[in-house]
């Protein structure tokens, strides 16, 4: 087993004195051969005092964390070129690197930089991609992730998700009870930002398709309500506050509607659709059983949801326009919290696997089910926007921690925050530049 653990710092926190721990990423299961690559430290041209962060280190960490690459340590590099012209392919063949990334950062103003990088195939001795991106100190990290995305896609054919974010909820016990925080962080754990803090439970975060807003459930005033909060401004709007349960929000692909669960005064949980501009709700299911955890299919045609109308919880789907629900899962006694991959080909869910709650991925076409996690109480699967990887919550001792796993189950990694009980991760859509 690979235990290649490293710390990614730069945690920022809006609440002084309650800084969340740095996030550790470790690979818990590496089921594929890792391609050796070299990311050479970038050259620097500018005032020494203005030198930004080490871009090569961020790119190497991204590639390493994907589980598909093994970056070569700096001390094993025989040369440290910063442009393709200086590259000696024999040196890189000798250290068995299959690909080499070189680059430089040139200062063009007080807080202006040009970042350029090139990716080379060592065997074929040719450039695969070369790019120049303008940056500032504030955008340097995201530029590094974008470079890593391009490199990753060129080498694997899979779109990189290094420039995406993850939202999650943490709960920390204290003498008064618990403190709940809704947190957004870069997918590598950097730039942790507390979106909201509450003494009452926060639940079920969901990204808007443009990544600008989060919907979530709050229990402030001892009742549940659904809110939509704009991340940039912090402005929050209560969008559902009906008697009984208001829960499980999920944005429609066009961002104009939320599917949510309403319970009413008699507590009959059903799936409803809320139009965010008119505030009108439309009921999609009417069964006496628990119907909850609705989420849209990427094409907007169906709403998948959990229902225990057959006895135990199973996944169903209903046409978003309304209709008769049809059962989707038949394997096992407990299948809940369905989430479709953005390409629509796979369905992730919480699945009871021989006494353990685990994440399973179903092939929508063949209906074949694959258990991809190995914990006892895994929950809240959420696909990365490239449909290749999922993030979910698992347990480590008494605390929830996050793990990612490729949809084929081969590469699994832990992303654990240092503090509190971490749960309900949701992966953001691709950023729009």
Partner 1 sequence: MLNYKLVVTILMLALLAGCASNKVPDPEPGDSTYDAAGSGADTDMYGDDPLGGGAALDDDYTAGELTNVIYFDFDSSEVRDDFTDIVARHALILANDATVQVRLEGHADERGSREYNIGLGERRAQSVRRMLMIQGASAAQIATVSFGEERPVAFGSDEDSWGQNRRVEIKYTN
DSSP 42-111: PEEES-GGG----HHHHHHHHHHHTTSEEEPPGGG-S---SSGGG--HHHHHHTT-SEEEEEEEEEEETT
Q: In the complex, what is the shortest distance from the CB of residue 11 to partner 1, in angstroms, rounded to a whole number?
A: 25
Q: In the complex, what is the shortest distance from the CB of residue 307 to partner 1, in angstroms, rounded to a whole number?
A: 9
Q: In the complex, what is the shortest distance from the CB of residue 200 to partner 1, in angstroms, rounded to a whole number?
A: 9
Nearer CB in complex with partner 1: 58/426: 426
Residues at the contact surface with partner 1, assessed by CB under 8 A: 171, 173, 175, 177-178, 201, 203-204, 219, 222-224, 244-245, 247-248, 261, 263, 265-267, 269, 290, 292-293, 306, 308, 313, 334, 336-337, 350, 352, 357, 376-377, 379-380, 395, 398, 423-424
Strand, coil or helix: 409: coil
Q: In the complex, what is the shortest distance from the CB of residue 417 to partner 1, in angstroms, rounded to a whole number?
A: 18
Query: What's the first-to-final CA gap in the chain, in angstroms?
Result: 38
Q: In the complex, what is the shortest distance from the CB of residue 394 to partner 1, in angstroms, rounded to a whole number?
A: 12
Nearer CB in complex with partner 1: 4/178: 178
- Specify the long-range contacts of residues 80-83, CB closer than 8 Å, at least 24 apart: 80/40, 80/41, 81/40, 82/40, 82/42, 82/43, 83/43, 83/118
Whole-angstrom Cα distance, residue 174 to residue 231? 27
Closest CA to 302 of 266, 261, 338: 338
Whole-angstrom Cα distance, residue 411 to residue 394? 15
Nearer CB in complex with partner 1: 162/305: 305
Nearer CB in complex with partner 1: 313/429: 313
Nearer CB in complex with partner 1: 219/430: 219
DSSP 357-395: EEEEEEETTT--EEE----SB-EEEEE-TTSSEEEEEEE
Q: In the complex, what is the shortest distance from the CB of residue 171 to partner 1, in angstroms, rounded to a whole number?
A: 8
Closest CA to 357 of 334, 338, 339: 334
Nearer CB in complex with partner 1: 188/378: 378
R_g of the chain computed on alpha carbons: 23
Q: Which residues contact 57 (CB under 8 A, 6 or more apart)?
A: 39, 41
Q: In the complex, what is the shortest distance from the CB of residue 109 to partner 1, in angstroms, rounded to a whole number?
A: 48
Nearer CB in complex with partner 1: 152/357: 357
Q: Which residue has the tokens 């093994």?
A: 70
Q: In the complex, what is the shortest distance from the CB of residue 29 to partner 1, in angstroms, rounded to a whole number?
A: 22
Strand, coil or helix: 272: strand
Nearer CB in complex with partner 1: 245/273: 245
Whole-angstrom Cα distance, residue 360 to residue 352? 9
């Amino acid at each position: 087993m690979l235990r290649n653990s490293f710390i990614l710092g730069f945690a920022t926190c809006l609440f002084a004195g309650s800084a969340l721990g740095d996030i550790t990423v470790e690979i818990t299961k590496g089921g594929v051969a890792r391609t050796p690559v070299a990311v050479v430290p970038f050259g620097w041209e500018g005032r020494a005092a203005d030198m930004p962060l080490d871009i090569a280190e961020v790119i190497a960490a991204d590639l390493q964390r994907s589980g598909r690459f093994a970056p070569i340590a700096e001390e094993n590099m025989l040369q440290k070129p910063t442009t393709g012209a200086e590259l000696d392919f024999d040196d890189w063949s000798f250290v068995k690197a299959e690909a080499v990334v070189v680059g430089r950062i040139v200062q063009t103003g007080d807080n202006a930089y040009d970042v350029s990088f090139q990716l080379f195939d060592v065997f074929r001795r040719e450039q695969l991609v070369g790019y120049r991106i303008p940056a500032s100190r504030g955008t340097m990290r995201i530029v590094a992730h974008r470079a890593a995305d391009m490199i990753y896609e060129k080498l694997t054919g899979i779109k990189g998700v290094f420039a995406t974010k993850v939202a999650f909820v943490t709960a920390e016990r204290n003498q008064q009870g618990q403190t709940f925080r809704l947190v957004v962080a870069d997918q590598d754990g950097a730039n942790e930002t507390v979106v909201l803090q509450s003494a009452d439970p926060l639940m079920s975060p969901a990204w808007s398709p443009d990544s600008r807003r989060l919907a979530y459930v709050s229990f402030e005033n001892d009742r549940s309500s659904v809110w939509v909060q704009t991340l940039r401004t912090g402005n929050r709007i209560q969008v559902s506050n009906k008697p009984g349960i208001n829960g499980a929000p999920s944005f429609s692909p066009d961002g104009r509607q939320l599917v949510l669960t309403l319970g009413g005064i008699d507590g009959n949980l059903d799936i409803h659709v809320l139009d965010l501009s008119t505030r009108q709700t439309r009921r999609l299911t009417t069964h006496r059983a628990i119907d909850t955890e609705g989420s849209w299919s990427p094409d907007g045609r169906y709403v998948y949801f959990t229902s225990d109308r057959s006895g135990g919880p199973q996944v169903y789907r209903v046409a978003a326009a309304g209709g008769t629900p049809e059962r989707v899962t038949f394997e096992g006694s407990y299948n809940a919290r369905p989430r479709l991959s953005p390409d629509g080909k796979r369905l992730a869910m919480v699945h009871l696997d021989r006494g353990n709650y685990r994440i399973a991925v179903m092939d929508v076409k063949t209906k074949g089910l694959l258990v991809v996690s190995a914990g006892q109480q895994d929950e809240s699967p959420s696909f990365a926007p490239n449909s290749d990887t999922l993030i979910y919550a698992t347990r480590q001792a008494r605390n929830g921690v996050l793990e990612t796993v490729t949809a084929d189950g081969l590469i699994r990694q832990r992303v654990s925050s240092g503090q509190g009980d971490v749960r309900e991760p949701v992966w953001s859509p691709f950023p729009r530049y």
